Amino acid sequence: MFAHGAGAGMTHSFMQAVADGLAARGIATLRYQFPSMERGSRRPDTPRVAHATVRAAVATAAATGLPLLAGGKSFGGRMTSQAQAQEPLPGVRGLAFFGFALHPPGRPSTERGAHLDGVACPMLFLQGTRDELADVDLRRSVTGRLGAGTTLALVDDADHAFHVRKSSGRNDPEVLGLMLDTTARWIDAVLARPGGG
């Protein structure tokens, strides 16, 4: 289950590229829309509404009988982790985050990551080193305290949208390919664990 960010819905080019790239690696993706995006509202849903939406997506995906992982881009990933911390999402074996929004731009803080201590499944954080919503040192401190089940994959020179500068020597499609390879390897490792996670 792959939830979108606050500013763009499930059909955004990044969401599509991730879904297509994972499909090419043998991984099915269920993208879904938060109600605010369905209404065309610029204001994200309240956590209560967003958490209920995450749970509805998990219930829908569970009907496939496939192993389940959840997460999303920015806001969508954070709402997924909050839902998991409040009450484990049935059958979900791990959470993957594409640009976890740890704090507002220019206001470094770890407050938005406090709930992660309550998540008891493996987590993957894909984070750009130039992400203005996740200071690298703060991100390292948060993931460091979460223990061995947490993986931080820093994407050199990438911003919150995973754009890289030409001076990095790479382009956006190359960066996305590396992130998807990392995600696929992480998924394989999670599903290979005794008990599936």
Q: Which DSSP category does 43 fall into?
A: S
pLDDT in tens, 87-130: 999 999 999 999 999 999 989 999 999 999 999 999 999 999 99
Query: Does the structure show a pLDDT above 60 at 156?
Result: yes
**What is the count of structural domains for the chain?**
1
Q: Are 80 and 68 in contact (CB under 8 A)?
A: no
pLDDT at 7: 85
The arithmetic mean of pLDDT across residues 78-84, rounded, is 98
Read off the CATH number of the domain in which 107 is found: 3.40.50.1820
Q: Could you tell me the CA-to-CA distances from 134 to 39, 92, 112, 119, 175 in Å, in that order?
A: 29, 25, 10, 19, 18
pTM of the model: 0.95
**Residue 153 burial (10 A CB sphere; 0-12, 13-18, 19+):** middle
67: CB partners within 8 A, 6+ apart = 93, 191, 196
Structure tokens at 132: 């203005």
Looking at the chain, the whole-number percentage of residues with pLDDT higher than 70 is 98
Supply the range of the domain harboring residue 19: 2-196
